[in-house]
Structure 1
Amino acid sequence: MNRLTASLFAVAVASLCWMLPAAPAQAQQPMQPLDTIVAVVDDDVILRSELDIALANIESQFEGRRDQLPPRDIFERQVLERLILTKLQVGRAASMGIRVSDAELDGAIVDIAAQNNMTPAQLVTQISADGMTAADLRASVRDEITLQRLRQSFAQSQISVTEGEVDAAMANEASGNQYHLAHILIGVAEGSTPDQIASAQARAEQLTAQLEAGAIEFQAAAVRYSARPTALEGGDLGWRSIDEIPPAFARIIAGMQPGEIFGPMRAPTGFQLVKLVESRTGASNTPVAVTQFQARHILIRPGEDGEAAARAKVETLRARIAGGADFAELAQQNSQDEASADRGGSLGWFAQDGYGADFGAQVAALKDGEVSAPFRTAAGWHIVKREGSREVAATDENARQRARATIGQRKLEQEWDRYLRELRGEAYVDIRLPAASGS
């Protein structure tokens, strides 16, 4: 059975802290005579009970430091916006034919339980103690897998990296420097008037002065004031190499000292403040080992018959393989990947991201000799058989692949933010909360 990658385990488990349906809220909070709608999102709604449990679970993560949270009305808006974006992304994924089968979902939950040293039954018992149900768990994990696949599909179709960009990154790689960053965005809505823009700039400058004077911690300020999705994580961006930092910031950050704050800097979405939390020098001369995989695959592209027909065909082929049919023969006869079909679907040896992050994650999750469940990428429906794996010394081409992936990830972050803003702007959203203070 196909399994999620380790990175998804953490995201999926963390998502349970706020991406949950309405039912558990009734178990954790006093019964209300009538559940109300707090937002209409296209053809869907978000209920007061959904928002309440999301708020309660985030508050539990701030136990002992509740003073870092913004005023209640602003906090509600922040969390509601997360729920709105989740609904919009799930809806867009559904319209693109992105689906998560019950078998894939079962496998994901098995692996999430295993990551926490539990059986699936023990995992359900654990979340039940917090008022959640097995149905809540399945809904949350399904949504998280769906969102990950939507992002991967977007990356494959929208993000490209030139050889010139890779050459420049290779020239910078010798330093090996990495930077731990945090970020605050004082948002400016599209179509804002000059007065509104000036007001946002004044707020950003005032906040910068407070930060530099030590009147407020950067993490607390991000939670209270930032319009970025990372606000409730204190604006933390984690560790970045210089090629993962937008060019507008890269040179400035490279010259900063830990603890320094840069900004405010004007951006399309508002005024940005960036803090260098700490820096470190990576190993520059230490040989790096990379994992390569050998695999075969079968690709079925959706045609005139539609998505369902392509999925049905690939599931039939998977059943025949499970019944003993030869993978290479079926690939030669059925695969629509012209580059590999004549070789029985053989892809040779390749790095994990050699055929895209989504495909690579599926291969990495298998054991040698194991065949995946059908899965979807931007190219179509696949079955993959992993035939081997090996550790090899990093070559110049390996380094170029890593640089290409790093640049692609940085571009993806920038374009994905823009995509989500467009998705939000195009949607019909009717928020039925009182206006937040200061808005």
Structure 2
Amino acid sequence: MKQPFALFLLAIATATALPTHAQLLPQAATGKQPLDRIVAVVDDGVILQSELNEAVRSVQQQYASNPGTLPPMDVLQRQVLDRLILMKLQVQRADDQGIRVSDADVDQAVNAVAQQNKMSPEQLRAAVEQSGSSFAAFRRQLSEQLIAQRLHDSVIRDQVNITDSEINNMLASPSYKAGEVHLGHIQISLPAGASAADIKAAQEKATQAINAIHGGMDFKAAAIRFSDAQDALDGGDLGWRRVDEIPPAFADAVANMKAGDVTPALRGPTGFHILKLIEQRAPSRQVVQEFHARQILIKPSELLTPEQAHQKAEDLYNRIVNKHEDFAKLAKEFSKDDTTANNGGDMGWFMQGDWGSIIAQHMAELKDDQVSQPFQSEAGWHVLQRLGSRESDRTAEMERNQARQAIGNRKAEQAYDDYLREMRSSAYVNILVPELREPNEPQGGKSS
């Protein structure tokens, strides 16, 4: 199941831009800093000016080809600082809960980022260091992202349950809509237990955003400037979402919109939302190719060496193909696959990849009724017979699976959003630099 990640991942300031799914919020470079200061106290931790500068520099490089998209420097600094604060709180909360990651976990993440950027780990390290940042800081940031993801998983694990009744109700609802939409999003959040003054201030900010968009400001630029959602510094791009995956109020709002339309400010439980319908696409039938096959599996064991297992599979192949002995009878007698042996090796109807890539490859090479030469997988030696193939309409089955995923994603997103809001509201956050505070925000520790 897709798990919405509450952390916005900013680009590393490297000569090679990282794709969004592999972008990181950079730490300060380890070079000497002429001056440094604490800009914010976050519970038991602090955020330094050098950290903020490096993060802001990264965002500026990310938008170097279109700098006009970025808001004024004071607004950008506050946006970035807010995300640094949220990251700091999540890492602290995870630490309190004993959530850890190992060096091996970080190594695996480094390799994944390198692969996504078509680099070797050594090339990735060189690119990071060429930018003036340290690779140790890069690894620390990866570690923090992994910790925060595990916190996310821990929070939603016991809160997100999906029943068959919920799936049935969704699919039977008159308001159920299939298809997918690509949305832009601006969120003006309200703190937990918002006062009338908080609501008024948020509404005024939402109105400013609407007026700016209607006045010609690009929606992405407006998201960067006004939104406080975790996707703000990515221009508020929510990507493609199934219509049944987004909140019902959002689905209703975009139901009659055309590509390019923008909603008015929508009031929700967590604040005000502005949506742009970037693109939409209709659902399609899910027709898949299925195969019917049977197999004999010979496993090496303490009594059967790998070479003997291979030879036994060759003998069975010869008995089936050349001596025309009954496949099902031999499977019952000799196959060591617990799931199929008693049924004469019958694997039933399945999609090509359901039994793994090796069987899928051989299945595609066979014709109906043809028996394969013995081949090896991690399980042992196989003799496979393809019995038939067909196209199967799995639209209804996949619709249920997608509905289950949509309900789960929606619940997970709401559960973690509530968790973050509560965490932020109860945290001690003291922004020490006056120009980094929100307008009219007093100095001193605050919740929200």
TM-score between both structures, scaled by the size of structure 1: 0.67
Q: Which amino acid aligns with 1:246?
A: P
Cα distance in 2, alignment partners of residues 434 and 62 from structure 1? 26
Q: Does 1:158 align with 2:159?
A: yes
Q: Name which of structure 1's ranges 186-195 and 70-79 shifts more when overlaid on structure 2.
A: 186-195
| Contact 1:20/1:139 (8 A) holds in 2 | no
Identical-residue share of aligned pairs (%): 40
Q: What is the 5 A alignment of 1:51-130?
A: 51-130=52-131
| Contact 2:70/2:224 (8 A) holds in 1 | yes
Q: Does 1:19 align with 2:21?
A: no
Shift of 1:260: 1.4
| Contact 2:180/2:280 (8 A) holds in 1 | yes
Shift of 1:22: 2.6
- Compared CA separation, residues 210 and 139, structure 1 to 2 (3 A): closer
- Compared CA separation, residues 387 and 277, structure 1 to 2 (3 A): farther
Shift of 1:186: 2.8
Alignment-derived partner of residue 246 in structure 2 = 245
| Structural RMSD (CA) | 3.5
SS in 1 for 2:260: coil
Q: Which amino acid aligns with 2:181?
A: Y
Alignment-derived partner of residue 273 in structure 1 = 274
SS in 1 for 2:98: coil
Q: Which amino acid aligns with 1:103?
A: A
Q: Which amino acid aligns with 2:287?
A: T
SS in 1 for 2:162: coil
Q: Does 1:201 align with 2:207?
A: no
Shift of 1:100: 1.0
- Compared CA separation, residues 105 and 194, structure 1 to 2 (3 A): closer
Cα distance in 2, alignment partners of residues 202 and 35 from structure 1? 36
Alignment-derived partner of residue 258 in structure 1 = 259
Instruction: Report how many residues are paired.
Output: 336
Cα distance in 2, alignment partners of residues 135 and 231 from structure 1? 27
Alignment-derived partner of residue 379 in structure 1 = none
Structure 1 segments unaligned to the other structure (5+ residues): 290-345, 350-363, 369-385
Shift of 1:437: 6.4
Q: Which amino acid aligns with 1:208?
A: I
- Compared CA separation, residues 400 and 133, structure 1 to 2 (3 A): same
Cα distance in 2, alignment partners of residues 396 and 279 from structure 1? 21
SS in 2 for 1:262: coil
Q: What is the 5 A alignment of 1:128-139?
A: 128-139=129-140
| Contact 2:227/2:236 (8 A) holds in 1 | yes
Shift of 1:51: 0.8
Cα distance in 2, alignment partners of residues 434 and 347 from structure 1? 69
Structure 2 segments unaligned to the other structure (5+ residues): 11-17, 291-336, 341-353, 359-377, 381-390, 441-448
Shift of 1:288: 8.1
Alignment-derived partner of residue 181 in structure 1 = 183
Deviations 1:106-130 (A, max 9, x none): 2222332233333222211111110
Q: Name which of structure 1's ranges 116-125 and 397-406 shifts more when overlaid on structure 2.
A: 397-406
Cα distance in 2, alignment partners of residues 175 and 428 from structure 1? 43
Q: What is the 5 A alignment of 1:193-232?
A: 193-212=195-214, 214-232=215-233
Shift of 1:402: 3.1
Q: Which amino acid aligns with 1:281?
A: A
Cα distance in 2, alignment partners of residues 94 and 288 from structure 1? 48
| Contact 1:187/1:270 (8 A) holds in 2 | yes
Cα distance in 1, alignment partners of residues 48 and 115 from structure 2? 32
- Compared CA separation, residues 144 and 203, structure 1 to 2 (3 A): closer
Shift of 1:285: 4.5
Cα distance in 1, alignment partners of residues 433 and 289 from structure 2? 53
Q: Which amino acid aligns with 1:260?
A: D
Larger Rg: 2
Cα distance in 1, alignment partners of residues 185 and 338 from structure 2? 41
Shift of 1:39: 1.1
SS in 2 for 1:182: strand
Alignment-derived partner of residue 315 in structure 2 = none
Q: Which amino acid aligns with 1:21?
A: Q
Shift of 1:138: 1.4
TM-score between both structures, scaled by the size of structure 2: 0.66
Shift of 1:76: 1.0
| Contact 2:191/2:421 (8 A) holds in 1 | no
Alignment-derived partner of residue 406 in structure 1 = 406
Shift of 1:367: 9.4
| Contact 1:18/1:58 (8 A) holds in 2 | no
